[in-house]
Amino acid sequence: MIFKVLAIDKQTKARCGELQLANYTIPTPVFMPVGTQGTIKTLTPRHIKETNAKIILCNAYHLCLRPGEKIIMQLGGLHKFMGWDGAIITDSGGYQVFSLADLTKVSNGGVEFQSPIDGTRLFLTPERMTQIQNDIGADIIMAFDECVPYPCEQDRASIAVKRTLDWAERCLTAHRNKQQTLFGIVQGSVFKELRIECAKKLAEMNFEGYAIGGLSVGEGAFLMNEVLDYTVDLLPQYRPRYLMGVGFPLDILNAIERGIDMFDCVLPTRNGRNGCAFTSTGKIKILNSQYKEDSQPLDITCTCYTCQNFTRAYLRHLFLASEILGLVLMSLHNICYFQNLMQQVRASIIRGEFKDFKTDFLLKQPEL
């Protein structure tokens, strides 16, 4: 992997770059749509490609439960299995340690999961999760980590940081496919000394990329930005920086301003399936009665298939009639919105005008 910083904004730490993987080149900052189980809900790979997305995220934990990494390997690897010819990043399952806490038992050795599908117990170690990701063939893979909830006592967060660092070393040792890029993950909840310790020690391990995890779990925007303020600069300058699970446009812009390069979130598709569209003038909740006879597209500035062919009135009709097409069209538009936002951000950084772009964006879309 090669990461090139092409431009840095004049007034902020925002940077525009290029992530060169073995088979793909990804412009940054980049937003990665989420296809947890090898599919982005309601959308085909062709749909995603038409949005100009270059990389998507899948989840190795969920894929090892169903259909299992052996089947994915037998059928040619994850790209071929899901029919996606772009880049793929896989999460290792560290977030599921947090989100499925009632079904897990964590120890220094690893995590015992009880499958939410059939109750089967599965013990996953850093070595096992690295092997699974090596086997299914993602382009970027994540170290196994322990994500704690918020609020969390400092002693509990300290134990998780020690495990995360130990597991990071074990993942590095277990990593076999050197065409894949392995990222380390910074944990530490909202405790400054823990975040600093974790970031510094991970940087010493010389990962090819670095993620900041354990945020957007209830701590709020102020604390998230505070963590980023003292964490980002501790990570190597010429390595990509990835803020995991953050998707609100304002949070993304705040993080880019602090030097973050990569983002993922289910927000665009989840909101789309629930009838909420992101537009250049703010959110549209398509079930509102004001759109009953509205002949406008969702967003007059958008060139996506949805906006070029369908009215707000038609989209509202689809949701009222419980037609699947409504979910497809709204999700497609939202993915396009986020890809267009990243394209505009990159252009503004190259011009040295990111701060002005952000100010203008918030004037037009203050609730985002």
Q: Give domain limits for the chain.
A: 28-265, 272-333
Q: What is the pLDDT of residue 289?
A: 98
Q: What is the pLDDT of residue 365?
A: 87
For residue 155, give every residue at least 6 positions away whose Cβ sits within 8 Å of its Cβ, in sequence order, or none: none
Q: How far is CA 84 from CA 34, 59, 202, 365, in A?
A: 13, 15, 31, 33
Q: How far apart are the first and last CA of the chain?
A: 34
With DSSP H G I counted as helix, E B as strand and the rest as coil, what are the percentages for the chain, rounded to 5? Answer: 45, 20, 35
- 221 CB-contact burial (10 Å; exposed 0-12 / middle 13-18 / buried 19+): middle
CA 203/CA 342 separation, integer angstroms: 27
Q: What is the DSSP letter of 198?
A: H
> Has 264 been annotated as catalytic?
yes
| Pairing, β 55-59 against β 30-33 | unpaired
For residue 30, give every residue at least 6 positions away whose Cβ sits within 8 Å of its Cβ, in sequence order, or none: 19, 54, 55, 261, 262, 263, 342
CA torsion 293-297-298-303 (nearest 10°) is: 170
Check: CB of residue 232 under 8 Å from CB of residue 258: yes
Check residue 24 and give left, alpha or beta (phi > 0: left; psi -120 to 50: alpha). Answer: beta
The position carrying tokens 């259909």 is 67
Of 9, 91, 139, 251, which is the active-site residue? 91
> Has 118 been annotated as catalytic?
no
The position carrying tokens 């969702």 is 298
**pTM of this structure:** 0.97
What does CATH list as the number for 28-265?
3.20.20.105
Of 9, 145, 261, 264, which is the active-site residue? 264
Q: What is the pLDDT of residue 366?
A: 83
Full pLDDT tens readout for the chain, 368 residues? 999 999 999 999 999 999 999 999 999 999 999 999 999 999 999 999 999 999 999 999 999 999 999 999 999 999 999 999 999 999 999 999 899 999 999 999 999 999 999 999 999 999 999 999 999 999 999 999 999 999 999 999 999 999 999 999 999 999 999 999 999 999 999 999 999 999 999 999 999 999 999 999 999 999 999 999 999 999 999 999 999 999 999 999 999 999 999 999 999 999 999 999 999 999 999 999 999 999 999 999 999 999 999 999 999 999 999 999 999 999 999 999 999 999 999 999 999 999 999 999 999 988 88
CA 366/CA 368 separation, integer angstroms: 6
CA 113/CA 87 separation, integer angstroms: 28
